[in-house]
Amino acid sequence: MSLELFPMPRKMKVGKDVLDLTNARWIKVAPGLSARLKGHVHALARHVSALFPRPLQVTAGDPAAGAVLLSIDLAKRGLDPQAYRAKATADGIELTAGDEAGLFYGLRTLRRLLAQTGGRVPALTIEDSPDFPARGIMLDISRCKVPTMETLYALVDLMAELKLNHFQLYVEHTFAFSEHEIVWHDASPMTPQEVQALEAYCADRYIELVPNLNSFGHVERYLRHPEYRNLAECPDGFTRGRMHSPYGTTLRPNRNSLRFLDSLYREFLPNFSSRCFNVGCDETWELGQGWSRKRAEELGSSTRVYLDFLLGIHKLVQKHGRTMMFWGDIILRQPELIAELPKDIIALEWGYGAQHDFNGRCRHFREAGVPFFVCPGTSTWQSLTGRLTNAVTNLRNAARYGQEHGAIGYLNTDWGDLGHHQYLPISYPGFLTGAALSWCLKANRDADLPAALNRLVFHDRTGCTGRLVCDLGRVLEVVPRDFGNKTPYQQLLFRPIGDEETLKGITAGSLRKSIARFDKLEAQLADARPEAPDGELVKAELRGAIEMARHGAERGLAAMEPERWDRAAMRPKLQHIIGQHQELWLARNRPGGLAESTDYLRRRLPDYD
């Protein structure tokens, strides 16, 4: 019998015998298990009862009459935390685990198993445990898009199904600090009460909601306001390559900035029970160019200035009773400095390309004895459609080298740079892939991703929706140029028509081929039958993604073949895309940030004049 489980267990032995357990009446739980765990047992009973002649009942006692379908207890020895063992025999199914989290994961597996088999279960043994103790998702809620609570709850439910246990919301300015309304007033931020509610929802599903607040770089949402100029490394802005910012993005590394951070931490952190705290500190682009220039010259490098301030933040985090997590990109500029990091700190080794050197970079942290996570990404941001081949390779390499070098966690990141124009279904392939590979790389290396998407997310028995989302994420491969963390269609949509740098390396033939593929995928949407509660919204979002990407390709052709394209006639298409983007945004997200996201599109309307 072929069983469709996702993530696939580490070890599963399925016998030839089929066990007839249809007359079972009971699910038996050990008396000492928590009310939280028993609640999930009750949910399992409700979910599978329709598959049996009579509703299953949950008991902590020994039934005097009637067969037991499933017995649940903690193992007395031999199983690590989060590990579980399930064994199906003629006497029923036994589920044991090293802790309650392991029982929870075992219940998710058995729920999927029983949904496929009903009471006629194959004789089997499952021995399962994760490669990484912490496996999670980080969702960017600071690049315009802050999801509604309903959207966040639905994502947490999916995470539970995928056996993930770590969740972060990336915050720059989208928490409603009482003293800083000027920073967040148009952002629809998370409130303290909402954070507490989300944490409780996560905790019920054995997921840790970890606070995340960028605390050194990426503080531009504050520093653009006159009230905060005195905290900026470069108050009047800076230039970095082709990028110019009229205001600072990085904090001045001094005591005033530490006092500012301390005031934020006092208000932010008590809303979380997690003892970890991600302070960010990535991409401190202008450090050493402004206020700290003299100090950087004296020390011979801005990285040393960075480390000194990082150690100051570490003391603050210790004062608040947390373990500090930080992005590892800046310290890796001088790997010899890693040895000076405290050993109670957790580095976050991030990189999003298929060729990112997780191997070498993880080795630096391992050799210095600094605990670390690997942090790949879904490759969705600045893509419109996703970059699936890159994402799968990046996610797989993170799992491989993270495991080889002893990473204690795997954090799959989903960013929203420059307006967060990708829709949620575009991120699902990356979410599922990262979850499966971080659970057990060996068992899930070649998992059937479209089938898993259809079963777990879209509930599409035709198989169309999952296949379509994956195909959409590969259309960019017909274009010969690699745009890095972008797709050609996103660049063509948001850069001026005829921009020479954008057009470089793109052929008209590849754009015509792209348009033909987008047309074919849009036609296939008519055959998709997603029966999930948001099924029709998913189809609308996929149609919106296709229309944006296709219009980007059309803009490229309009530049290459101006005699064949009437730009004025193209204007209504972009106006339609703008209106559609507003509607789709509000279906899952708060209104804050929508105007900013839409403005990226509106800026291109003059191209059609």
Together in a domain, 471 and 427 = no
Residue 326 inside a domain? The answer is: yes
Q: What is the pLDDT of residues 511-558, one digit of tens each?
A: 999 999 999 999 999 999 999 999 999 999 999 999 999 999 999 999
Q: What is the pLDDT of residues 417-442, one digit of tens each?
A: 999 999 999 999 999 999 999 999 99
Residue 454 inside a domain? The answer is: no
Task: For Cα atoms 159, 193, 164, give the angle at the middle one, nearest 5 degrees.
Answer: 10
The per-type count for the chain, helices as H runs and strands as E runs, is: 21, 17
Together in a domain, 443 and 478 = no
Helix, strand and coil percent figures for the chain, each rounded to 5:
50, 15, 35
- Both tokens of 126, joined, read 């499952």
Contact 54, 10 (CB under 8 A): no
Together in a domain, 194 and 306 = yes
- Both tokens of 398, joined, read 């993170």
Task: For Cα atoms 252, 255, 261, give the angle at the middle one, nearest 5 degrees.
Answer: 75
Together in a domain, 107 and 158 = no
Together in a domain, 114 and 146 = no
pLDDT at 562 over 80: yes
Q: How many domains in the chain?
A: 3
Asked whether the CA dihedral 351, 356, 358, 363 is positive or negative, the reply is: negative
Q: What is the pLDDT of residues 13-66, one digit of tens each?
A: 999 999 999 999 999 999 999 999 999 999 999 999 999 999 999 999 999 999
Q: Domain end: 87, 111, 128, which one?
A: 128
Together in a domain, 350 and 277 = yes
- In angstroms, rounded to a whole number, what is the distance separating the alpha carbons of residues 559 and 555? 6
Together in a domain, 374 and 477 = no
Residue 57 CB-density burial (10 A; 0-12 exposed, 13-18 middle, 19+ buried):
middle
Q: Domain end: 92, 108, 128, which one?
A: 128
Give the pLDDT confidence score for residue 1 in this predicted structure: 67
Together in a domain, 412 and 531 = no
Q: Over pLDDT 90: what percentage of the chain? A: 99
Residue 5 inside a domain? The answer is: no
Give the pLDDT confidence score for residue 2 in this predicted structure: 81
482 is in which domain, residue-wise? 464-608
Q: Domain end: 414, 447, 480, which one?
A: 447
Q: What is the pLDDT of residues 1-18, one digit of tens each?
A: 689 999 999 999 999 999
Q: What is the pLDDT of residues 336-391, one digit of tens each?
A: 999 999 999 999 999 999 999 999 999 999 999 999 999 999 999 999 999 999 99
pLDDT at 239 over 80: yes
Residue 3 inside a domain? The answer is: no
CB count in 10 Å sphere of residue 500? 9
Together in a domain, 99 and 202 = no
Mean pLDDT across the chain, nearest whole number? 97
Q: Which CATH number goes with the domain that contains 316?
A: 3.20.20.80
Give the pLDDT confidence score for residue 243 in this predicted structure: 81
Task: For Cα atoms 171, 172, 178, give the angle at the middle one, nearest 5 degrees.
Answer: 90
Residue 455 inside a domain? The answer is: no
pLDDT at 240 over 90: no
Together in a domain, 473 and 439 = no
Q: Which residues contact 130 (CB under 8 A, 6 or more apart)?
A: 82, 83, 163, 438, 439, 440
- The SS3 of residue 11 is strand
Q: What is the pLDDT of residues 471-521, one digit of tens each?
A: 999 999 999 999 999 999 999 999 999 999 999 999 999 999 999 999 999
Give me the DSSP letters along 392-416: HHHHHHHHHHHHHHT-SEEEEEE--
Residue 351 inside a domain? The answer is: yes
H helix runs in 131-276, sequence order = 149-161, 181-184, 192-203, 220-223, 255-268
The H-or-E segment that residue 72 falls in is strand 67-74
Residue 480 inside a domain? The answer is: yes
Give the pLDDT confidence score for residue 374 in this predicted structure: 99
Q: What is the pLDDT of residues 101-151, one digit of tens each?
A: 999 999 999 999 999 999 999 999 999 999 999 999 999 999 999 999 999
Together in a domain, 141 and 123 = no
pTM: 0.98
Residue 535 inside a domain? The answer is: yes
- The SS3 of residue 67 is strand
pLDDT at 158 over 90: yes
